Amino acid sequence: MKKVSLKDIAQKVGVSTATVSYVLSNKKCRVGESTKQKIREIAKELNYQPNQIAKSLKSGKTFTFGLIVADISNPFFANIARVIEDEAAKHDYTVIFGSSDESAQKSWKLIQFLQNRQVDGFIIVPTENSEEQIEYLQKQNIPFVLLDRYFPQFTTNNVVINNYEAAFMMVSKLVQKPKSNVGMIAYKNSLIHMKERIRGFEEATKKHHRFIEKISFAAIDQEIGNAIENMLENNVEALFFATNTLAIAGLKVLQQKQIKIPNQLKMASFDESEAFDFFYSPISFIEQPIKNLGETAISLLMSEINSTQTGKTTKVLPAKCIERASSK
């Protein structure tokens, strides 16, 4: 079957091939809106597919970029990947996904693989100990945006939420009784988003007896039981989980121990999960602006790829506390 060309569309519309090229490339040209609309309709009718190789050779771009997240199976990252994919398509870009599993080694392998695929840029959720990778991208002048976390010592494009303020607000709502025993379960890492969530918890519990348990991302199932046990031994009355993954793992243990929520223990999570809706006591959580995060990351990356950006910026977006039965 013969591949549809720009010439085929031009002949059917009655315009030049150059005009069709300008319209389908969204370039400025002296063509009326009705003609532009007709060109697009005919292109769709004929199922026109642009020659990506020729387009790349002409522009010097591959119209692909890499997205590296911590764990694509986590609903937060899966949903944000969906938004990024949809937003990228609006710019005729295709996204290649990868999960680092919070491993700097795996993150570096993904960067190398995607660079070999000649992607035009990256959106990266950086792992702990991946600072050298960020330096490498900067030295290579490869466009990139850091998402969800960043490294304060580097001047980079970052899209994050107000982790400190969000954690402070949620924990303040979670703990009402004076001098309460309050606990937090977080990840054992030095990344800024986790530090800020812990700082928010600590600020909100200054007048309470607080307990913090930190566990490894790679050993959640093995370590969550001991963390919960320590909280219960300290008669914790309210428990804050630093991520939805930790909250789900914690809920399993609490169910096994037949701890009643919120009668025996109030709880809340940073970020949401569909499982929270089906629990007999719907879980309170901090809602992140996923759509805004994805759109902002794409906007910054496209500006850098197209060299329309004059400097680096950190976009801090607000999160919202959703109070439900588990914290009341």
pLDDT, tens digit, for every residue of 68-112?
999 999 989 999 999 999 999 998 899 999 999 999 999 999 999
170, 256: one domain: yes
36, 69: one domain: no
269-325 pLDDT, tens digit per residue, is 999 988 888 899 999 999 999 999 999 999 999 999 988 777 899 999 999 999 999
Give the least confident one: 20-24, 132-136, 153-157, 187-191.
Answer: 20-24
Residue 56 included in any domain? no
Specify the length of the chain in residues.
328
d(CA 243, CA 164): 14
**140-172 burial: b if 16+ Cβ within 10 Å, else e:** eebbbbbbbbbbeeeebbbbbbbbbebbbbbbe
| The pLDDT of residue 186 | 97
Residue 176 included in any domain? yes
205-259 pLDDT, tens digit per residue, is 999 999 999 999 989 999 999 999 999 999 999 999 999 999 999 999 999 999 9
Rounded to 10 degrees, the C-alpha dihedral 128/148/218/116 comes to -70
96, 38: one domain: no
d(CA 235, CA 61): 59
183, 282: one domain: yes
Residue 1 included in any domain? no
d(CA 25, CA 17): 12
Q: What is the span of the domain harbouring residue 40?
A: 6-50
Read off the CATH number of the domain in which 169 is found. Answer: 3.40.50.2300
Mean pLDDT computed over every residue of the chain: 91
- pTM of the complete model: 0.81
Instruction: State how many domains the chain has.
Output: 3
